[in-house]
Amino acid sequence: MEIQNATTNDHEILTFITKTSKNIWGYGDEQIEKWSDVLTITTDYIEKNVLRKLVDDGRIIGYYALMQVDPKEMRLDYMFVLPEFTGKGLGKLLVEDAIDTARNLKYTKISLDADPNAEGFYERLGFSLVRRMESTIPGRFLPVMEMLLIC
């Protein structure tokens, strides 16, 4: 397995991974379709942000995206692994790479809006809850989390 920079040619598989992985939380196809714009990775998005993919035997099985918020802060905008590879430590591997990437680029903070189901995962990796923000689903709140980086 290897983590590599994503290219614009990867946009379709990254979108597939995003939608497939998001659906493991039981949102259903109708809700995933409502989120389609947010869950679609475009070539323009790849060109403007830092995307790294996890490749296993030539197959992309996961990825993450970092987006600059300001000169000191990066946002972990996406982080997904194909469902058949969850629970194997690969999400942790990707987040650790994202932290190292942001640190190497001299950012001092990473923030993210977690899926409520993933809050504990990010807490175990050292992220702290900052606040909760209401989502597009009424009554559902997203954990807004951050990690301060020591460069």
- The ranges assigned to domains in the chain are 2-148
Q: Output the pLDDT for position 141.
A: 86
Please state, rounded to an integer, the average pLDDT across all residues of the chain. 92
Q: What is the pLDDT of residue 88?
A: 96
What letter does residue 9 receive in the DSSP assignment?
A: G
pTM of the model: 0.89
pLDDT at residue number 115: 86
User: Which position has the token pair 């977690």?
Assistant: 114
- What is the fold, at CATH topology level, of the domain defined by 2-148? Aminopeptidase (3.40.630)
Whether pLDDT at 25 is above 80: no
Least confident of 34-38, 78-82, 84-88: 34-38
- Is pLDDT at 136 greater than 90 in this prediction? no
41 token code pair: 């990775």
**DSSP labels, 71-130:** TTEEEEEEEEE-GGGTTSSHHHHHHHHHHHHHHHTT--EEEEE--GGGHHHHHHTT-EEE
Q: Above 70 in pLDDT, residue 53?
A: yes
pLDDT digit string (tens) for 83-134?
A: 999 999 999 999 999 999 999 999 999 999 998 889 999 999 999 999 998 8
CA distance 59 to 146: 30
